[in-house]
C-alpha cells in the first residue's frame, strides 16, 4: 500500500509520460495483460488510456489490471490511468 505522499509523487512523475497501454474494443486480453506486466517490470510506472470504443471505463480498467498484476492504481483522470508496481531493481525511490 502506498501513502498519499507517495501517490502524489507518482502522479507528478506520470504527468509527463505518454500512455503506452491502449485498451480498445477488445477490452483486457491476455496479450494486453502480458504487455502491461512487461511494462511494469521494466518501468515500475505505467500510463494507459481507454479508447472511446472500449466497453470499460478508465476506473474499471485500472482496478482490473491492478488486481490481476499485483499493482497499485495511482490515479484515474478522464480516460487515462496510472499503475505502479515496485520491481526487484528499484528504479523509483518513494
Confidence of residue 1 (pLDDT cuts 50, 70, 90): confident
Helix H, strand E, coil C: the string for 38-59 is: HHHHHHCEEEEEECCCCCCCHH
- Angle at CA of residue 92, ends 88 and 94, nearest 5°: 105
CB atoms within 10 A of CB 39: 19
What are the boundaries of each domain within the chain?
4-84
Residue 60, Ramachandran bin (φ over 0: left; ψ between -120 and 50: alpha; else beta): alpha
> Which residue, 88, 90, 83, 92, is CA-closest to 40?
83
Kindly report, residue by residue over 6-56, the tens digit of the pLDDT.
Answer: 999 999 999 999 999 999 999 999 999 999 999 999 999 999 999 999 999
- Residue pointed to by grid coordinates 500510463: 47
CATH 3.30.110.60 fits 4-84, yes or no: yes
Q: What is the pLDDT of residue 56?
A: 92
Confidence of residue 84 (pLDDT cuts 50, 70, 90): very high
Amino acid at each position: 500500500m502506498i501513502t498519499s505522499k507517495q501517490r502524489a509523487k507518482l502522479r507528478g512523475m506520470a504527468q509527463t509520460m505518454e500512455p503506452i497501454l491502449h485498451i480498445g474494443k477488445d477490452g483486457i486480453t491476455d496479450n494486453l495483460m502480458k504487455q502491461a506486466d512487461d511494462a511494469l517490470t521494466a518501468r515500475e510506472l505505467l500510463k494507459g488510456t481507454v479508447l472511446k470504443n472500449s466497453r470499460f471505463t478508465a476506473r474499471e480498467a485500472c482496478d482490473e489490471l491492478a488486481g490481476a498484476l499485483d499493482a497499485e492504481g495511482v490515479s484515474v483522470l478522464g480516460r487515462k490511468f496510472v499503475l505502479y508496481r515496485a520491481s526487484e531493481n528499484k528504479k523509483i525511490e518513494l
